[in-house]
Chain A
Amino acid sequence: MIGIHDLGGFDNLGPVHPEDGATFHEDWEKLTFGLQMLGAAVGDWTADEYRHYIELMPPADYMNASYYIHWLVALEELYTSRGLVSREELAKRQEEIRSGAELPPPAPIDPEVPARLIAAMKQAAFHGGGVRKRDQERSFAVGDRVRAKTRAIPGHTRLQRYAFGKPGVIVSYNGVYALPETAAKRDVETVTEPVYGVRFEGTDLWGEGAEPGTSVTLDLWESYMEHDDTTQKGTH
């Protein structure tokens, strides 16, 4: 989808604030991070499904909400979609918290549960998951001239709009990964594809106004690009 999250190149968003280097500003942001990490232990969702729920926020809401509100939007969708909590329960509990009502007590602690959750989260934090897939046949090679496709498709994608239709050169082969379009959907079989680093010159992306001597390198799945015969003819 062409969404508000696809921010590369937008004008008029104001200055960068280098002085705001903190990761968290408030305790609830840390809590939200913790609930996201808990998902690594109790949820079955992919990063792409998580990202897509954020992308589906109404654009004005997305721009007005702070970063960890984006995360809460995704977490509420994920925890409810798996039936771990319900929308009705969430709304009721939020109202209870707003009004200062006494909340139901937590379930009795079974020491095995926190131990298992902490172990699972630490496993993820220090060892990660297998996001790289088994190698498969490649249709591109380092040095190839390519063109990013124009992919105005519904749903999740990781191809930035600013690269649509632009010519670039493959600078690296980065391994085989799940295609985000499929990984974001629970009811679709996940497809894997080789991914390459592709360099785009600033002038090709932004025209005459580009800063001289600049480029942007993106990672492109094979579905995101095609061989660029026109450029090749011009350079040989």
Chain B
Amino acid sequence: MGGNHHPSELSDGEVRARALESLLREKGILQGDVVDEIIGVYTSDIGPLNGARAVAKAWTDPGFKRRLLENATEALAELGIGGMEGENMIALENTDTVHNVVVCTLCSCYPWPVLGLPPTWYKDAPYRARVVREPRAVLAEFGTSVPGDKEVRVWDSNSEVRYLVLPQRPAGTDNYSEEQLAALVTRDSMIGVTVLPDVTEMADAR
């Protein structure tokens, strides 16, 4: 990693991370571009596009959807999706009567192979503290209004199980291809803090 800052500008985090890196390099434990390589994996190869592919396939292929809801780890493996922090996946289907939202109150557990690394708000204290207690209020802060007669299920990821929310397919997408559908699926909708807008509504809003 680079770092041409004047020493006086260095933050505590930068000093500590660089000191550990420097020692590991001096001892030969860390060599070459290993760190950049692995960051590249999680900034280019693994991310929410994986989850979006799975969601779009579930919307268009009833057999895949059934397998995803029965054993998400195996169904995702069919698409070549799997790995660390996603070894045991459960898919949660949003329906007309149930909305699902995922959190890790104890740390920051998150399904890396399908969604990449978590956004800052997911790791910060307010979301972790509040979404288990007042999920409707937190969802509203994401612009998501869940009708009072719709059940809200929060899933607190405290074990090695990781959760993927299967959002409801937006209205107005009957003629969409799987690829077009995948492009509509957002990270936040697969965490469950947002729902996907109807396509006609989106067009009207423009």
- The residues in B between 7 and 53 inclusive whose CB is less than 8 angstroms from any CB of A are 7, 10-39, 41-42, 46
B80 to chain A, nearest CB (A): 9
Chain A residues with Cβ below 8 Å from B157 are 219
- B196 touches A (CB below 8 Å): no
Q: Number of B residues whose C-beta is below 8 Å from A?
A: 94
Of all chain A residues, which has the CB nearest B107?
A51
The number of residue pairs between A and B whose CB atoms lie closer than 8 Å in the complex comes to 313
B11 to chain A, nearest CB (A): 7
Q: B7 near A118 (CB under 8 angstroms)?
A: no
Q: How far is the CA of A13 from the CA of B15 in the complex (A)?
A: 28
Q: B130 near A16 (CB under 8 angstroms)?
A: yes
Of all chain A residues, which has the CB nearest B1?
A31
Chain B residues with Cβ below 8 Å from A100 are 6-7
Chain A residues with Cβ below 8 Å from B13 are 26, 28-29, 32, 66, 68-69, 72
Chain B residues with Cβ below 8 Å from A202 are 133
Q: How far is the CA of A182 from the CA of B24 in the complex (A)?
A: 29
Q: B152 near A213 (CB under 8 angstroms)?
A: yes
Q: How far is the CA of A88 from the CA of B120 in the complex (A)?
A: 32
- The residues in B between 32 and 86 inclusive whose CB is less than 8 angstroms from any CB of A are 32-39, 41-42, 46, 82-86
Closest 5 CB pairs of A and B: A34-B35, A107-B28, A114-B32, A219-B159, A8-B105
Which residues of B approach A to under 8 Å, CB–CB?
A: 1-3, 6-7, 10-39, 41-42, 46, 82-88, 90, 105-108, 112-113, 116-121, 123-138, 141-143, 148-161, 187-188, 193
